[in-house]
């Protein structure tokens, strides 16, 4: 074994037919001249034939073959692959159906979680939906109020007498809005008009309170009774409530204290 290891590797690769053409030609030329190399190649060939011809080739035993077949079949049926008893290897329609069913039932542990998620979604919407509706109406009321102020066309029926304003509105709407007439204290009914809020024609009553314009939008409500809620947006103060089947939305640029006092009057009047 005194040959350099690179030579020995080359000889092995030569015997295995793994040398590239150039290296092979060089080695063949060397082999012609070198008896020792030839002897080595001879030896390697002999060993190669001996191992190939005589070393035992362990073919898979039948038991293993059956077991592996069963494992594949079990996989096809979607089960944990343990099967001491042999099952046919073929994937028939029955096991295919089982696999599909097993896939479906694999979702079963998730059902309570999905139900809970659905319930949370439902309740959240139930809570948030009225809030969102209020927000939308709030925006519409502000828009109507600002539009009317800018156009300087707030009043269609000009009267401080609710006996004039109410019939006028009733004749133009499909409902009769309560019209509050302030008795004293710097507030006065200026008149009313018909406007459009929340997808329907509504009554808009216009008051003056200490130099500030106050508007009250009224229309039949879905809920007959609801407590007063205040809001503030873009410098306007808003309040809304339901009473006697009517929704009231009041908007003004009054200061908060006077606004809430006025709202208290309005909401308890009719």
Q: 100 or 264: whose CB is closer to other proteins?
A: 100
Q: Which is nearer to other proteins, 57 or 107 (CB)?
A: 57
Q: How far is the CB of 55 from other proteins (least distance, A)?
A: 5
Please, which residue, 52 or 234, has the CB nearer to other proteins? 52
Do the Cβ atoms of 193 and 172 come closer than 8 Å? no
Which residues, in sequence order, are CB contacts of 268 under 8 Å at separation 6+?
none
CB-based contact 194:172 (threshold 8 Å): yes
Helix/strand/coil for 57: coil
Give me the least distance between CB of 109 and other proteins, in Å please. Answer: 16
Helix runs in 77-184, H state only: 93-105, 111-151, 162-172
* Inter-residue contact 215 to 147 (CB < 8 Å): no
Helix (H, G, I), strand (E, B) or coil at 234: coil
Closest CB 127 distance from other proteins, rounded Å = 41
26 vs 146, which CB is nearer to other proteins?
26
Tokens of 40: 């080595």
The nearest distance, CB 12 to other proteins, in angstroms, is 4
Q: Minimum Å distance from CB 21 to other proteins?
A: 16
Smallest distance from other proteins to CB 117, Å:
25
CA distances from 39 to 26, 27, 34, 46, 144 (A): 17, 14, 9, 10, 109
d(CA 57, CA 10): 27
Q: Which residue, 2 or 223, is less far from other proteins as judged by CB?
A: 2
Q: Are 76 and 92 in contact (CB under 8 A)?
A: no
End-to-end CA distance of the chain: 118
For 90, the 3-state DSSP assignment is: coil
* Residue with Cβ nearer other proteins (5 or 171): 5
Nearer to other proteins, 69 or 178 (CB): 69
Beta bridge mates, 84: none
Exposed/middle/buried for residue 243 (C-beta within 10 Å: 0-12, 13-18, 19+): buried
* Residues at the contact surface with other proteins, assessed by CB under 8 A: 1-5, 7-9, 11-13, 16, 18, 30, 34, 36, 39, 43-44, 47-48, 50-52, 54-61, 63-65, 67-69, 71-72, 75-76, 78, 81, 89, 91, 96, 99, 103
The least distance separating other proteins from the CB of residue 24, rounded to whole angstroms, comes to 14
DSSP bridge pairs for 195: 202
Least distance to other proteins, CB of residue 233, Å? 56
Nearer to other proteins, 46 or 185 (CB): 46
Q: What tokens does 49 get?
A: 């034939």
């Amino acid at each position: 074994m005194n040959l350099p290891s690179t030579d020995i590797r080359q000889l092995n690769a030569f015997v295995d037919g793994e040398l590239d053409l150039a290296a092979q030609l060089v080695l063949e030329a060397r082999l012609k001249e070198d008896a020792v190399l030839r002897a080595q190649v001879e030896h390697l060939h002999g060993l190669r034939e001996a191992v190939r011809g005589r070393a035992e080739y362990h073919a898979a035993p039948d038991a293993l073959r059956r077991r592996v077949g069963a494992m594949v079949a079990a996989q096809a049926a979607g089960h944990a692959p343990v099967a001491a008893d042999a099952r046919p290897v073929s994937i028939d329609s029955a096991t295919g159906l089982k696999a599909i069913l097993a896939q479906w039932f694999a979702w079963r542990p998730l059902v309570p979680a999905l139900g809970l998620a659905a319930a949370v979604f439902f309740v959240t919407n139930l809570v948030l939906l009225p809030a969102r509706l209020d927000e939308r109406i709030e925006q519409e009321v502000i828009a109507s109020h600002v539009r009317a102020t800018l156009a300087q066309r707030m009043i269609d029926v000009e009267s401080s007498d609710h006996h004039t304003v109410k019939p006028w509105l009733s004749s133009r709407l499909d409902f009769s809005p309560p019209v509050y007439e302030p008795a004293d204290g710097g507030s006065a009914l200026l008149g009313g008009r018909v406007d459009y809020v929340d997808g329907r024609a509504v009554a808009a009553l216009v008051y003056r309170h200490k130099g500030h314009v106050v508007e009250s939008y009224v229309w039949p409500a879905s809920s007959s009774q609801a407590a007063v809620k205040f809001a503030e947006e873009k410098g306007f103060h808003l309040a809304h409530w339901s009473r006697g089947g009517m929704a009231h939305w009041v908007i003004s640029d009054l200061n908060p204290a006077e606004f809430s006092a006025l709202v208290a009057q309005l909401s308890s009047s009719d």
